[in-house]
Amino acid sequence: MRSRNRRLRLSVLLFAAVLVAAGCGEAAPEPGANKVDRQDDQLAKAQDEGEVTWYAGLEQGLVDKIAAGFEKKTGISVDAIRLGGEEASTRLLQENDAGVHLADVVYTGNEGNFVDFKKRGLLAPYRSAEVSHFDKAYYDEDLTYYVPYANRFWMVYNTNLVPESEVPKGYADLADPKWSGALAISHPGYSVGAAIVPFFWSQTDGLGLDLMDKIAANKPLINQSVHDSMAAVISGERKIAVVVNDAGFYTDGKGAPVKAIYPAEGVPTSGGGVGVAKQAPHPYAARELLDYIMSQEGQQIMADESRTVFRDDVKYPTGYVPPTSGDQNLYVVDPAKFAAEHDEIVAHFQKVFGV
């Protein structure tokens, strides 16, 4: 009887010990790791770390290609977590509050996120080996983040379902009741692009955030991502996707009966961002991955997938329409201004659409 009690007590203690041990699992990065300049033994140390965790707010196909290229080049395995841009921010902030540090490299389609991350001190400044290949406009002056590509946003329609003569010319036309039940729109609470487009409306005379209310009256299908909106148009579930970017259009739309509409009011365009997390568990590997993403090889992978990048030494595939093409009235989004308006846009969307 006595020995059984001892065993029981032992197991209670053990249980408590497991809980406590789990509580202090994460080790802090070694002090010398967070240097701004590239260190000579960075690659060797990164290979010792052996892996890197990448919060990737871009589509899976591209994530896979970049991860595979990086692994082949360095032998460091990439744990790539594909997340919607806003989910990537949610998780990073949430984990930071919890004191759990899982992310090494963070990547979203919204430079505005990085303005916010930088303000909160979540990013480690690093002078990438590739920095000389970029114009100053495409990286943070304090080197906390880089702009790996830009997204343009336009509409897409299904050519089998919308005759050429009826195709809307711009965003304002979407208020027409004839598009009732015909639209798909993405939710700005999950997708960055879905917030950038209404931001553009709010900055444009004659549109305004009111356009959201008018579109809501047409009962669009509400998707989480631009890719899901695109899928709804490809399958014919809806005729027009209100928010699609280069990624959704060129990658998902390959071979499908879809065409782009460059809205008459303008094509909002905004940079993405990539940076090293301050508390990265694999600080050296994180820097290596950032270098790879900004390298000629990494940027060419993006250009091959028709993403607009800012190195002058990349080639684009046929079919890619560059931002310089005449019928696109580009509107460049100011990341700080967008970041300031973002929460209000999400709140307005939630109010108008009910979710």
Partner 1 sequence: MATVTAPEVREDPASGETGLRRRARSALQRYPLPLVTALVLAVLVLPPLGWLLVLSTRVEGGGGLTLANFATVLSDERYLGAIGRSLYIGWFVGVLCIVLSAPAAWAVAKTDMPGRTTVRVLIVGSFVLPSFLGALAWILLAGPNAGILNRVYRAVTGASSGLFNIYTLGGLIFVITMSMYPLCFLLLSTALENVPADSEDAATILGASGRKVALSITIPLVTTAVLGGFILVFLEAISVFGPPAMLAIPSGFHVITTQIYALLQYPQHLELAAALSMPLLLITLLLVWLQRRFIGRRGYVTVTGKSGARRAIALGKWKWLAVGYCWLLIVVSLVLPVAVLLWVALSKSWGQGFGLSNLTLDNFRYVLFDYRPARSALFNSLTLAILAATAASVLAALISYVTSRRLVRGHQILPVLTMAPVVLPGLVLAVGLFMTYARPPFVLYGTIWVLFIAFVTKFLPYAYINTSSAISSLDTDLEDAGRIMGATRTRTLARIVFPLMKGGIMSAWILVFMVSLHELSASVLLYTSKSRVLSIVLLDLQSDGRYEDAAVVGILLLAVTLVIVGIGYRVIGKDIVNMRTN
Q: Which stretch binds partner 1 (CB under 8 A): 12-20, 133-141, 200-208, 307-315?
A: 12-20
Site track 237-276 with partner 1 (rule: CB under 8 A), x = hit: xx-------------x---x--------------------
Site track 315-344 with partner 1 (rule: CB under 8 A), x = hit: ----------------------------x-
Residue selected from 34, 47, 159, 224 as contacting partner 1 according to rule CB under 8 A: 224
Sign, CA dihedral 236-150-351-216, equals negative
The total of other beta-carbon atoms located within 10 Å of residue 238's CB is 24
Q: How far is the CB of 237 from partner 1 (least distance, A)?
A: 4
SS3 (DSSP) at 16: helix
Burial tier of 118 (Cβ tally within 10 Å: 0-12, 13-18, 19+): middle
Q: Locate 266 and state its tokens.
A: 């303008």
* Letter string b/e over residues 186-225, b meaning 16 or more CB atoms within 10 A of that residue's CB: bbbbbbbbbbbbbbbbbbbeebebebbeebbebebbbbbb
What is d(CA 294, CA 53) in angstroms, rounded to the nearest whole number? 17
Rule CB under 8 A: is residue 93 a binding residue for partner 1? yes
Rule CB under 8 A: is residue 227 a binding residue for partner 1? yes
Residue selected from 234, 289, 290, 309 as contacting partner 1 according to rule CB under 8 A: 234
Q: Are 241 and 167 in contact (CB under 8 A)?
A: no
Site track 41-60 with partner 1 (rule: CB under 8 A), x = hit: ------------x-x---xx
Rule CB under 8 A: is residue 3 a binding residue for partner 1? no
Sign, CA dihedral 227-229-233-237, equals positive
Q: How far is the CB of 200 from partner 1 (least distance, A)?
A: 21
Per CB under 8 A, residues contacting partner 1 are 4-5, 8-9, 11-12, 15, 19-20, 22-23, 25-26, 53, 55, 59-60, 64, 67, 79-82, 84, 86-87, 89-91, 93-95, 97-100, 102-103, 181, 187, 189-190, 216, 219, 221-225, 227-232, 234-238, 252, 256, 343, 346, 350, 353-355
